[in-house]
Structures are given as structure tokens and as C-alpha cells.
Structure 1
Amino acid sequence: MKQWVKALEQSLFDDQPICSESKAVRSGAWVHFRLFELFVAAWAIAYAWTWGLYTFKSSVVVLELGLANYIHVASLFGLPSMVIAALVTLGIAVSITRLWRWGYLIAILALHLQYVVRFSQGEIPHSSNLIGFALLALGVGIATHKDPVAQVRFTWGFLWFFVGLGYTSAAVSKLVGTGITWIDGQHLVLWIHEKAIDYASMTGAWSPNVLQSAILNSAWVGTLSLFIGWFTEAIGVLMWFRRLRPWVVLVTIGMHFGITWTMNIVFVAFVMQLILTGFPWVEWITTLQQKTRMSPSSSDGPTLKS
């Protein structure tokens, strides 16, 4: 057991480009990490202000979930939500510039509060969940480590451990809640019809695409689709291992596109984050950097003839 834990720890926290002996690879790792920070920061700030502005539209609490059971969230609608959004922005700004290491943690707490306030007025996209967790990973990693390399190592290891565990936990929860019959294609037929009602109510019309038509015409196609989706979630923990990660992430992205095509649920930020973090960008960045630094064969200049 100890050997397994040690191997997992090495895979998550030690087997990283930032730990490479190559200066070029470490440089690529820094570029990739900073791009990741900017991506998370941009989405978190956008969510904070978008959710805050939305609260001006209504003063009614529709869903009392999470913190909404303990605080009067209606009092945070409108201008107070703008203050929360500003706090998120300020926290991110001071951390991304390394003026104050604890800024990200302040930002994630404020963003979660904003999430609760906005969610109390109706359901919002799933994509924000992964952005929020990435912000948490950055917050914990940077606040608890002074060494920049340790900050990067912890952030990536922490993020991939819980992202992989989250997907696998989703697969397990389906079995706990429904059992093996969760993959019954009739369930997917029902969900497609439910989403069709939502879509038609917004646009006035709905017509199934090719995949939806195939599922509606044959429950077996739906069963196969659900099984593929469930299996993809089940192998999520394989993201813990660097060599397997790109392939598991690729299949997971395919699953999210499948959800979009069957139930019109879009995971924009989710998929973008998986693309940015799941593939060997450090290798690609390093290769690009090396190519741009290489001198052309004619770098010695032209030969002057007398």
C-alpha cells in the first residue's frame, strides 16, 4: 500500500516538466503554467461579474442550496453582488502578480459565495465547477508554498488528483443512486425529451439531430451511449498518470461533446480547460521556443567576395 501511495505521489507531484533537468523544458513549463493562470483568472472574473449582473433581474430566491440555507442570499442581489465580483477580481489580481499569495483563496471564497447567490435564482452551467476548482488549486498551492517550483508542482498534482477522482466518483455515484440500470437507454430518451421541452420553450421549435434521432428510434443506441459515457467517467482516475492523461482527457472531451449532441448541455470552459491542461503543451511550447531561438544556417552572414 505504501509503495502504491508513493508511486501515485511521484506520478502526481514529481513526474512534472517543471522538475526536469532541462532548462528549456522548465522554461516551457513556466510559460504553460502562467497561461493556465491567465485562463482561470479570466474565466473566474467573467463568471463573477456575469453572475453579479444577473442578480439585478430578480429579487426572488428560487433554489435554497448550500450556503443559501444558512444566509439570506436575497440581501446580496444587486449592488452587493457587484462588491463580491470586485473582491474576486482584486483577489485574483494580487495573486497573479504575486503581490499577495493569499489572494486566490480570498477570490475562491468570494466566487463561491457569488455562485450561491446566482444559483439561488436558477440553475447555471456546469463549466464553472472546474474553473472554481482550478482557482482553489492555485489558491492552496500558492498560499501554502513560497518556492515557485513547489507552487507549480502542488497546483498540478492537487488539480489532477481531484479532477480524476471527481470523474470516477461521478461514475460510482450513478451506480449508488440507480444501480447498473442507469445505462438503460430509456433514461436517455427521457432526458432528451426533457431537454427538448427546455429548448423549444426558448426558441419555439426543436428538431432532433442525427444522434438524438438514432437514440429515440432505438433504446439500444441510448444504452450504448450511456455505457460509453459511464465508462469514460469511471476511468477518470487514470488522469493521475502523466503518460495516460492525454488519452483519457481526449476520451473525456469526446464524452462532453456527446453530452452536448444528445442533451444540448454545453461545457465550454470545461472542455477548454481540459484541452489546456490535459495535453503535452509543455513539449510543444519547448519545441516552439527552441525553433524560434535557432539561428538559420546563414547566421554567419554572407561571404564577401573581393
Structure 2
Amino acid sequence: MNRMKQWVKALEQSLFDDQPICSESKAVRSGAWVHFRLFELFVAAWAIAYAWTWGLYTFKSSVVVLELGLANYIHVASLFGLPSMVIAALVTLGIAVSITRLWRWGYLIAILALHLQYVVRFSQGEIPHSSNLIGFALLALGVGIATHKDPVAQVRFTWGFLWFFVGLGYTSAAVSKLVGTGITWIDGQHLVLWIHEKAIDYASMTGAWSPNVLQSAILNSAWVGTLSLFIGWFTEAIGVLMWFRRLRPWVVLVTIGMHFGITWTMNIVFVAFVMQLILTGFPWVEWITTLQQKTRMSPSSSDGPTLKS
């Protein structure tokens, strides 16, 4: 029991305490603030873009194709068209009042509205996975900023909350594959089947399809497919290592490679997913801090305004 408490304490420290915003260095804290605000702007831009794009899409049809989640309990067809524009406006307003710190609860209003918009849009056809990570980042911002008044605590909670569930999410995906299919999930024949399925989708949109080098290798040898699936599964399985700051850049780098692998084998693109991993998974604070210090030290900086820490 004591060992478990020690492990939980160490994990809590790694997620919430071992952060640049907690540094004794004023320069590092300044870099941490810049990075956090860039992250906020990134999430805000994507969330707003998704809200309006999904809303505009609902004008194309009045038919409910997939009744999943909330769609089983509410009449989503009544939200197609103009009502979806109201939802998009609510997402935008909620984000605007929170990012400017006019109202701390705005992000939570925005994530609830964005989730509703997601359900409305998803009822007309499947949506790419990239929106899931953006939505979860918005949730992390919402909970962190709404439940903490201290700006430093807001940053600490947001990053800790985000990395805990992102890492857990990847590892859970690996576990779910074993639960659903067992160890035979990595059988290369499965990947051959999935490539052919995606080929049909691609050919129906463009009129033609030809395999790339990696797809050809997998189609010619199931063992190549088995190796590819094992690498992908193992990458997901070690997702919880993102909890630890020193390991995070390396795990994120491998994870990004996995997403590119999925794109090359099954033509599934993770644009926002990969961009968010790049923005959050690497030591940007160190790079920003170094850039700020070099800017202050440059001879030309004396001729104009200096950056304040």
C-alpha cells in the first residue's frame, strides 16, 4: 500500500509539478507562458473551425445516418441547418470570453456546445479522429481554468490533466485491441483487408487507386503487415510513458511516426492530431526561452523595445 502511495505521489509530481511554469527561473516561466498561450490559440482556432465547418455541412442533408451517443436521446435532425449555426456561434463566444479571461467558465460552455455539434455532424456520417484530441484539449483548458483562479495552477492542471488522459488514451487503445480480437490483432492479413477497404473508398472518390511502396510491400507479404501492426500496437501500448516529462518527446515522436504510418497504409490523415502532438510534446519552452534570451542579447535589441519577462 505504501509503495502504491509512493508511485501515485511520483506520478502526480511528474504530471503536475515537474513543469517549466514551476521553474525558479523567470526566463523559463516566461517561455512557459508564451507556449501555453500559443497552445490556447491553436486549440481555439481548430475548435472554432470544426464548429463552423460541421455546422455548414448539416445544410447538405436532412437524413440521420448514424444515431450514436446523444443522438439516441435527442432529435438531432432538428439541429441541422440554422440551429447548428447557433451552436457554432456559442462555441465561438465561449472560447472568446475564456481566452481573453473575461469569464473563466467559457471553455466549458464551448466544449459542451462543440460536443453537441460533433454529435449533430456525426449523425450524417463519420468524422476524422483528429477532432477528438482537439476536443479533449478544450476540455482540459475548460476544467483547468474554471476550477483554478491562480494562473499558474491553471497551467499546471491543464498540462497534467491533458497528458494523463492522452497517454492513457493511447494505451487504452492498445488494450482494447487485445480485448476485442486478442493477440491475433497484429495478423498482417487484417491490414491487407483494411488496405483493400480503404482502396475502395479512395477509388469511389477519385475514380482510381494504386498502392504506394509501403502498401505494395504489405499486399505482397503479410509478414510485413504483421510487423507494421505490431509496431503500431506497441507504440500505442507505451502511451502512458507520456506521463513522464523526460520520456515524453521520444514517445510523442514515435507516436507521430505511427500516425504517418497509418496515413501511408490506409490513407487516414491526422492533421490536427499530429500538429497538436508536435506543439505539446516537444521542449518548446526551452526553445522559446533560448530565443527570448538571444533576442535580448542581440545588438539590435537596444535600438527598440525589449521583451519583458
CA-to-aligned-CA distance 1:239-268 (integer Å, 9 cap, x gap): 000000000000000000000000000000
How far residue 295 of structure 1 moved from its aligned partner, in angstroms, is 4.3
State, as a whole percentage, how many aligned pairs show the same letter. 100
CA 1:175–1:300: 2 relative to 1, 3 Å = closer
How far residue 73 of structure 1 moved from its aligned partner, in angstroms, is 0.1
Does 2:156 align with 1:147? no
CA-to-aligned-CA distance 1:24-67 (integer Å, 9 cap, x gap): 00000000000000000000000000000000000000000000
CA 1:304–1:22: 2 relative to 1, 3 Å = closer
- The equivalent position to 1:17 in structure 2, one of 2, 15, 20, is 20
> Which position in structure 2 is the counterpart of 1:124?
127
> Which position in structure 2 is the counterpart of 1:189?
192
CA 1:144–1:301: 2 relative to 1, 3 Å = closer
CA 1:300–1:169: 2 relative to 1, 3 Å = closer
CA 1:189–1:54: 2 relative to 1, 3 Å = same
Structure 1 unaligned runs (5+)? none
> Could you tell me how far apart the structure 1 residues matched to 2:91 and 2:97 are?
10
TM-score calculated relative to the size of structure 2 = 0.96
CA 1:213–1:143: 2 relative to 1, 3 Å = same
How far residue 300 of structure 1 moved from its aligned partner, in angstroms, is 12
How far residue 106 of structure 1 moved from its aligned partner, in angstroms, is 0.1
TM-score calculated relative to the size of structure 1 = 0.97
Residue correspondences, number: 306
How far residue 303 of structure 1 moved from its aligned partner, in angstroms, is 24
CA-to-aligned-CA distance 1:206-247 (integer Å, 9 cap, x gap): 000000000000000000000000000000000000000000
How far residue 304 of structure 1 moved from its aligned partner, in angstroms, is 30
> Could you tell me how far apart the structure 2 residues matched to 1:132 and 1:305 are?
33
> Could you tell me how far apart the structure 1 residues matched to 2:183 and 2:297 are?
57
CA 1:160–1:298: 2 relative to 1, 3 Å = closer
Does structure 1 retain, via aligned residues, the 8 Å contact 2:295–2:301?
no
- The equivalent position to 2:41 in structure 1, one of 38, 52, 59, is 38
CA 1:211–1:298: 2 relative to 1, 3 Å = closer
How far residue 296 of structure 1 moved from its aligned partner, in angstroms, is 3.3
How far residue 3 of structure 1 moved from its aligned partner, in angstroms, is 0.3
CA-to-aligned-CA distance 1:276-304 (integer Å, 9 cap, x gap): 00000000000000000014399799999
- Tell me the SS of whatever aligns to 1:297: helix
Does 2:263 align with 1:286? no
> Could you tell me how far apart the structure 1 residues matched to 2:143 and 2:250 are?
28
> Could you tell me how far apart the structure 2 residues matched to 1:244 and 1:9 are?
16
> Could you tell me how far apart the structure 1 residues matched to 2:215 and 2:152 are?
47
Aligned-residue Cα RMSD (Å) equals 4.1
- Tell me the SS of whatever aligns to 1:187: helix
> Could you tell me how far apart the structure 2 residues matched to 1:196 and 1:7 are?
47
> Could you tell me how far apart the structure 1 residues matched to 2:64 and 2:189 are?
33
CA-to-aligned-CA distance 1:152-197 (integer Å, 9 cap, x gap): 0000000000000000000000000000000000000000000000
- The equivalent position to 2:112 in structure 1, one of 102, 109, 112, is 109
> Could you tell me how far apart the structure 2 residues matched to 1:300 and 1:193 are?
62
> Which position in structure 2 is the counterpart of 1:210?
213
> Which position in structure 2 is the counterpart of 1:61?
64
